[in-house]
């Protein structure tokens, strides 16, 4: 009905999804790149992605699935730790491992990560491993800015992570 369309149009936007960046981590013959080349490709891709995002919305939290592809997870972890400033995937304020938080999701990990990131304040990057050994880096910029932590203790401003109903 017209009322439903008007209500939908008037609803607030949860998040913006800027164009993603796909990183094919394989050569022209389909063979996976050596580990060091994967790390360099991920680091370069991350920097290119950050350069495209608004300065005030640089990626704030990384959502990834460590069980999707072990070799790519290692390359991602090493590549992001080598950046300036480094991104530590073990820091709960900077990263969420879906496999640890939710258990094995299989092909649903990407959709779950996008939905959870859209529900949490701030800027995010969802890392999705594809079937061809590549990575998709999808930025998610929510309408709610991140809140500065009130204490140095690790806390979460994300209702999806806090266990709150």
Whether 151 maps to a domain, the answer reads no
pLDDT at 95: 92
Q: Which of 130, 131, 140, 152 is nearest to 62 (CA)?
A: 140
**pLDDT digit string (tens) for 26-40?**
988 989 999 999 999
- Whether the predicted pLDDT of 103 surpasses 80: no
d(CA 124, CA 118) in angstroms, rounded, equals 8
- Whether the predicted pLDDT of 152 surpasses 50: no
- Whether the predicted pLDDT of 143 surpasses 50: yes
Structural contact between residues 108 and 69, judged by C-beta atoms closer than 8 angstroms? no
Whether 107 maps to a domain, the answer reads yes
Whether 93 maps to a domain, the answer reads yes
H or E segment and range at residue 5: helix 2-10
CA distances from 133 to 72, 107, 139, 147 (A): 8, 14, 20, 35
pLDDT at 75: 94
Say what the pTM is. 0.80
Structural contact between residues 44 and 76, judged by C-beta atoms closer than 8 angstroms? no
**Residue 27: is it exposed, middle or buried by C-beta count within 10 angstroms (0-12/13-18/19+)?**
exposed
Whether 9 maps to a domain, the answer reads no
Token reading at 20: 């993603």
The number of folded domains in the chain is 1
Whether 158 maps to a domain, the answer reads no
Whether 130 maps to a domain, the answer reads yes
Residue 28 sits in which domain range? Answer: 14-145
pLDDT at 155: 46
Whether 46 maps to a domain, the answer reads yes
Whether 111 maps to a domain, the answer reads yes
CATH code, 105:
3.40.47.10
């Amino acid at each position: 009905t017209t009322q439903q369309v008007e209500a939908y149009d008037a609803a607030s936007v949860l998040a913006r999804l800027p164009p993603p960046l796909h990183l094919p981590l394989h050569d022209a013959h389909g063979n996976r790149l050596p580990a060091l080349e994967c790390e360099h490709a991920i680091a370069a891709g991350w920097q290119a992605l950050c350069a495209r995002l608004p300065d005030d919305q640089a990626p704030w939290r990384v959502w990834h699935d460590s069980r999707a592809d072990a070799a790519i997870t290692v390359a991602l972890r090493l590549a992001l730790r080598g950046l300036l400033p480094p991104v530590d995937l073990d820091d709960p304020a900077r990263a969420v491992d879906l496999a640890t938080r939710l258990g094995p999701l299989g092909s649903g990990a990407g959709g779950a990560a996008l939905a959870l990131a859209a529900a949490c304040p701030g800027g995010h990057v969802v890392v999705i491993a594809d079937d061809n050994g590549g990575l998709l880096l999808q930025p998610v910029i929510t309408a709610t800015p991140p809140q500065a932590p009130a204490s140095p203790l690790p806390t979460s401003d994300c209702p999806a992570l806090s266990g709150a109903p």
